[in-house]
Amino acid sequence: MNKWILGARPRTLPAAIAPVVVATALAASDWNWFRAALALKVGIWLQIGVNYANDYSDGIKGSDTNRIGPTRLVASGLATAKQVKRAALISFAIASIAGLWLSLLTSPWLLLIGVAAIAAAWGYTGGKNPYGYSGLGEVSVFIFFGLTATVGTYYTQTGQVTLVSVISSIPMGSLACALLAVNNIRDRAQDELVGKRTLAVRLGDTRARQGFVALLALAHLSALATLNPWALLTLAALPITISISRSVLAGIKGPALIPLLGKTGKLQMIFATLLALALAIH
């Protein structure tokens, strides 16, 4: 696999795609394909930028020296820190151009949200006091890849924010957090050794695993909270949710947890597709 595709971490991209799919389905009567495409471009390139920025920052800090998970470019020597930093900045630039275009079509307030999103992306593991090292990564993911991505995409197509759009953002945010959580559970022991106090480190192994399952449960419950009878379609994803939950609660560790990142990403896309179908029908 090309090293830059590897560094972009394709398995994490459902976190960027799913909220746009759900929000666009909710805005079905006012659907605007061009604005939806711009929102999708912002989300995907922001996610890729986060991944490269994380690779760069953890690489120069030495946090990835004995990494268990997927290969990191800087730590493995596949690319220099300078090259990976440049890739992150280019990714953020592409997201910014799409975001600027979208703001010109809708509202200048989106520019402030975009700036905040990029600042949060860089500050996750970058800078002197990265908040990802303090256990706040899941909070940021929920805000930007759940609430902001879903409600923001809906707003760009309809010009309004509704209660249903906010409720629909909850399962997207919780599943995006689950992607990060399973990573942090896998890396918990190593992160603790290098002083990276992720939420999994702070909670401990058992409670971190229980928290992961709670995020999946929240996705299902919040989808039903839309009070849309067609939201029952999301229960079709329940067997996948149960399978992943059992694996995590069984206590598997290290490399055995790596496949669960891909499975959680697939769950998010399947769940988003089912919820989008329910919202579009309703």
Q: pLDDT (tens digit, 9 = 90+) per residue, 265-276?
A: 999 999 999 999
Q: How many domains does the chain have?
A: 1
* Cβ count near 171 (within 10 Å): 31
> What value does the mean pLDDT take over residues 237-251?
95
Q: Please, which pLDDT band fits residue 213 given cuts at 50, 70 and 90? A: very high
Q: What percent of the chain is modeled with pLDDT above 70?
A: 97
The pTM is what?
0.92
Half-sphere exposure of 156 (CA within 13 A, CB side): 31
Residues 27-68 pLDDT 10s: 988 888 999 999 999 999 999 999 999 889 888 877 666 666
CATH of the domain at 171: 1.10.600
Using the predicted structure, report yes or no on whether residue 204 has a pLDDT greater than 90.
Answer: yes
pLDDT value of residue 75: 79
pLDDT value of residue 48: 96
Q: Which residues form the domain of 76?
A: 3-281
Which tokens hold the place of 76? 């493995």
Please check whether residue 263 is in contact with residue 252, taking contact to mean a CB–CB distance below 8 angstroms: no
Amino acid in position 230: W
Using the predicted structure, report yes or no on whether residue 125 has a pLDDT greater than 90.
Answer: no
Q: What percent of the chain is modeled with pLDDT above 90?
A: 66
Using the predicted structure, report yes or no on whether residue 282 has a pLDDT greater than 80.
Answer: no
Exposed e or buried b for every residue in 70-98, given b needs 16+ CB within 10 A?
eebbbbeebbeeebbbebbbebbebbbeb
